[in-house]
Amino acid sequence: MDVPDSKPWVQEKYIHLVFDISLWLKGVFALSEIVAGVAAYFVSQQFLLGVVQWVTADEFAEDPHDAIANFLLHSVQNLSIGAQNFAAIYLLGHGIIKLWLIVGLLRKKLWYYPVAMVVFGLFIAYQLYRYTFTHSPLLLFITVLDLIVIGLTWHEYRYLRRTSH
């Protein structure tokens, strides 16, 4: 049985669904950033060290040279108060701004769309800047996801402007 060509409104329906799902996922991630930012203010380095030691104990028992376990332990041991405060402020600010934008986009407020695209673009620029220091594949992955969200936001903005007249 042949499947007929999709109608444009059906394609728009699926693009809109992907857009909404991406916003909800970014919203969950933004909330987790806010929680992590608050935790970074109130959690001591000693507590973090205890958690990392507890989490990595089995790994160190099996392989004292485990790269991930050693990285975690080394990172917590060398965490300065300044770095911890920066992380808290960054996570809180980043999470709150993203959540504010996502709520506006989910409410279909047209002026949020260009603002969100600019802000997400600034986040991407910062992520790429940080990548030059860390070479973290996670930053590249997040950047690709953000680029997709910007593309979906642009598409949704154009669609809403076209259909609201």
pLDDT at 24: 94
Query: Each residue of 3-53: pLDDT tens digit?
Result: 455 566 668 889 889 999 999 999 998 999 899 889 888 887 788 778 878
Do residues 123 and 79 both lie within one domain? no
Structural domain contains residue 10: no
Domain hosting 44: range is 29-95
Give the separation between CA 151 and CA 136, rounded to whole angstroms: 23
Structural domain contains residue 140: yes
Structural domain contains residue 47: yes
Structural domain contains residue 11: no
- Above 70 in pLDDT, residue 115? yes
Indicate the number of domains in the chain.
Answer: 2
pLDDT at 65: 82
Residue 150, both tokens: 């910007």
Query: Each residue of 56-94: pLDDT tens digit?
Result: 888 778 888 888 877 777 777 777 777 778 778 888 999
Do residues 125 and 153 both lie within one domain? yes
Do residues 133 and 90 both lie within one domain? no
- Above 90 in pLDDT, residue 111? yes
pLDDT at 97: 95
Structural domain contains residue 67: yes
Residues 6+ apart with CB under 8 A from 106: 20, 23, 24, 27
